Amino acid sequence: MDTLQLAIDNLTSPPVLAFILGLLATAVGGDLRLPEPVYQFLSVYLLLGIGIKGGVALSEAPAGDVVIPIIVTLALGVVIPVLAFLTLRWMTRLGPVDRGALAAHYGSTSLVTFTAATVFLTSAGIAYEGYVTTLLAVLEVPAIIVGLMLAGRHAARAASWGESLQEILTGRSVLLLVGGLALGFATGTAGYAKVEPFFGGLFTGVLTLFLLEMGVIAAKRLRDLPQAGPGLVVFAVAFPIFSGTLGIVAGLAAGLSTGGAAILGVLTASASYIAAPAAVRLALPAANPGYYLTASLGITFPFNLIIGIPLYLAIAQALGG
């Protein structure tokens, strides 16, 4: 299947179309927001389901196959926020606090982009390592810490490092993801078979509903685009392509398959809009949410969802031979 066909398949998949529907409906003044309890349920379902499936795959993977990808992912979690911080200094006029906040977002990762990528690869019949969910969990936290450290040298901190770290580690996304990994690892394939109709058969449908809501939220962030400035807009598109390619190269070097490297590329290209904003609000109250939320959720997330995922797969296929 060629790259153009993969891109068309991604663009016309139910989850992506639901996201576009949310964008368009909000743009014309419609209201498709889901009730808050429903949104919270969908979030918990996705986080726990991804964690459980990743834990099952991890329990079946030889330890030697997992160690090097985890080490490489940890290194990426340190390097990428530093590169983002330095790139923003060159591309924008933002101060160090705002650059550190953005570095935390772009070094960390987006669960929903990851989920959409796995559904896309599965639909395209492209295999990838099941334990990539472990890499998602590994990449979630270090980059946020590095971003906060880069900004913390220049900021009057509202919270101690201990409080900030606790906010990150006890946040819902990290607890459900890591807890799901542990649950899946402990229960194995036999245990997962009992819940597979719920966490497997319904997964794409739940993701479709969730992305409808995310389209509404992203459309509202786009209204802040003039505040972000042209440099930040360019960064929000160009930097993910760079960091995604870096992740793909690192993944292939670590021994991942073409599909696995593409997933790692998606992880490094995406920007957090769940865990990172919560930590930044606590640790860096002086940072402007209009910058980091507009860039990560209003620009990078739609770009990756619609264009980036097939692009990173094409890059992985080209580099992986």
pLDDT at res. 152? 67
Token reading at 181: 């990994």
- Rounded distance between C-alpha atoms, residue 94 and residue 235, angstroms: 12
Of residues 236 and 57, the one with the higher pLDDT is 236
- Range 210-225 average pLDDT: 81
Residues 6+ apart with CB under 8 A from 304: 110, 113, 240, 266, 269, 270
Q: What per-residue string of b and e applies to 175-202 under the rule 16 or more CB within 10 Å gives b? A: ebbbebbebbbebeeebbeeeeeebeee
pLDDT confidence tier of residue 307, bands split at 50, 70 and 90: very high
- Rounded distance between C-alpha atoms, residue 136 and residue 175, angstroms: 13
Q: What letter would DSSP give residue 147?
A: H
pLDDT at res. 155? 53
Of residues 287 and 72, the one with the higher pLDDT is 72
Least confident of 19-28, 220-229, 247-256, 294-303: 220-229
pTM of this prediction? 0.83
Number of domains in the chain: 1
pLDDT at res. 139? 85
Q: Specify whether the CB–CB gap between 212 and 19 falls below 8 A.
A: yes
Is pLDDT of 245 > 90? yes
Least confident of 121-135, 141-155, 191-205, 307-321: 141-155
Q: Specify whether the CB–CB gap between 104 and 146 falls below 8 A.
A: yes
- Residue-averaged pLDDT of the chain: 86
pLDDT in tens, 61-77: 887 889 999 999 999 99
pLDDT in tens, 40-49: 898 888 878 8
Domain that holds residue 72: 3-320
pLDDT confidence tier of residue 163, bands split at 50, 70 and 90: low
Token reading at 183: 């649950």
pLDDT at res. 153? 61
Residues 6+ apart with CB under 8 A from 103: 81, 82, 84, 85, 88, 143, 146, 147, 150, 151
- Range 1-7 average pLDDT: 67
pLDDT at res. 220? 82
CATH, residue 18: 1.20.1530.20
**Residue listed under structure tokens 């459980």:** 52
CA atoms within 13 A on the CB side of 316: 29
Q: Specify whether the CB–CB gap between 92 and 235 falls below 8 A.
A: yes
φ/ψ (deg, to 5) at 207: -60, -35
pLDDT in tens, 72-112: 999 999 999 999 999 999 999 888 989 999 999 999 888 88
pLDDT in tens, 7-44: 777 778 888 898 889 889 988 888 888 898 998 898 88
pLDDT at res. 146? 87
Residues 6+ apart with CB under 8 A from 190: none
Of residues 309 and 57, the one with the higher pLDDT is 309
pLDDT confidence tier of residue 131, bands split at 50, 70 and 90: confident
- Range 127-142 average pLDDT: 86
- Range 123-141 average pLDDT: 87
pLDDT at res. 229? 78
